[in-house]
Chains A and B, each alone.
Chain A
Amino acid sequence: MAVEVARLEPRRRRFSAAGGPRYPGWLALPAVGWYLLFFVGPLAILALFSVAERVGFSTVVYTFNLDNFADLWDPLYGKVFLRTLQLAVVGTVATLLVGFPLAYYLARYATRKTLLLLLIVIPFWTSFLIRTYAWLIILAPDFPLFRALRWAGIVPSDLQILYTEKAVYIGVIYNYLPLMVLPLYAALERMDWSLVDAAQDLGDNAWQAFRRVTLPLVLPGVLAGSLLTFIPLTGEYLVPVILGGDLTVYAGNLIGSQFVTSRDWPFGAAIAMVVVGAMTVAVLLYARLARREEQFGG
């Protein structure tokens, strides 16, 4: 979605500047209705819950108090948020580091692009859950690969990956890679490589040409891919449960457990509101960055 926005914006600007075609406003009604019903509506309900109060085991009483937010001001939850931020930042950077060379190769050198792109997209045809469970088997200590590595003395005999943070990061990078690669590829695909050649002809070495020509031109793609990875990562719920052995709490798990295990919907709603608020700030920052990039990119 972010890619679309980035791509469409200049065109719209051009239209309005030239006094281009105007469409009747009611054409937007289905989209606005959808937006109200499935985004603004639920968000409003969440806001309503976040100031409500839990009584007894699970009864929700609608009032207005900010106790739920006050309760969040607690080192315990601060730790959870920091850990979530760390997962999101490190996860995004790691996915970028793995994804960029892949997208670069695909866009510039690959001869069978369609096939390779298909291979990246195919995992999407299988449930996220099943793909994550597959890693449970791959990372288990008795998986043949590990046995072989242990036997060859390449890894220590007591190496434990499953149910540690390492497993969480592996699962995260694996699952978010396509979300990163596709926008990167879209940006690199539109690159005019002769510009790089020109830079090198004029005295840049390969690294300088990359830094001064390629990178600024594909930066919107980098930002789009990072955002597509970063935002869902802040709510990541499944990978820590399955591959992390549920031994660590991230914001997504905290929210989930308030709704499902602790029966405290108001508190869960308050946490969700805080996460939504933080995300809004992140997206606004991104929008500013992206706009600036576009102006420079011209």
Chain B
Amino acid sequence: MASKIYKNTLRWFPLLLLIVKRDFFKQFKGSYIGLGWMIIVPILYLIIYTFVFTEIFNVRWGNAEDVNGKINFALFLFCGLTIFNFYSTIISSGCNQLISQRSTIIKIAFPVIVLPIGLTLNSLIATIVPIILIALLSIIYVDGFSFNFIYALLLSFPMFLSGLSIVLIVSATSIFFRDTIQIARVFVTFLMFISPVFYPSTSIPEKYISLFYINPLVIPIKSLRSIFLGTEPPSVNSIIIYCFISLIFLLLSLIYFLRLKRGFADSL
């Protein structure tokens, strides 16, 4: 059984790579700036959010008026947004993903699971540039280079696991219940406010703290902030626990996906 899975995985690996590549370049096909958008978009976001939150809402974080305070706040915000963007893309694209590949799925026998995996990998790739941007700003304005940056790489693993679980569940469910698409839209907005994107995780009231950690965004956001903004390294323990929980979650969602998979062609 295990060897069969291994053999199959090996066989479909080239397909996965091609699908990741295709979906990656699809975003930029036909545009003038092409790949440049990968860099321009995060920078634009960074500027917009920093401006709105520091100049208009007049939010203060850290030590008040100086430039460093503003940069710190921008970094703080951007760490949260990067993680949030990863999960929000996964949820909203995940809903449509299998439905949009209808003609392929109902006519060809191929491992449908490469599609969710491809989506997750691409969403992960999309976080690379923002993270590099954060790292650069952090080197210049915060503490200079620190070996703690390596943890950001480590973090991508549990994020992939939890992200993939979400895509598996959302994409399979939306085939049977198209309502998922509408629910997901609302849920993404809800997620933005229950995650510590615009506020530090310390501002959560004590009585909600255990509920708060159910949210898969909390640990990545917290860790990212302590990697690039804090002085102390992120809590490795919490990342490991997070990995572990994501893995269990992934296994459950795999079972869920594979069970429903038999009905995809009938229901699409």
Q: Do A and B bind each other?
A: no
Interface residues of B (CB under 8 A from A): none
Interface residues of A (CB under 8 A from B): none
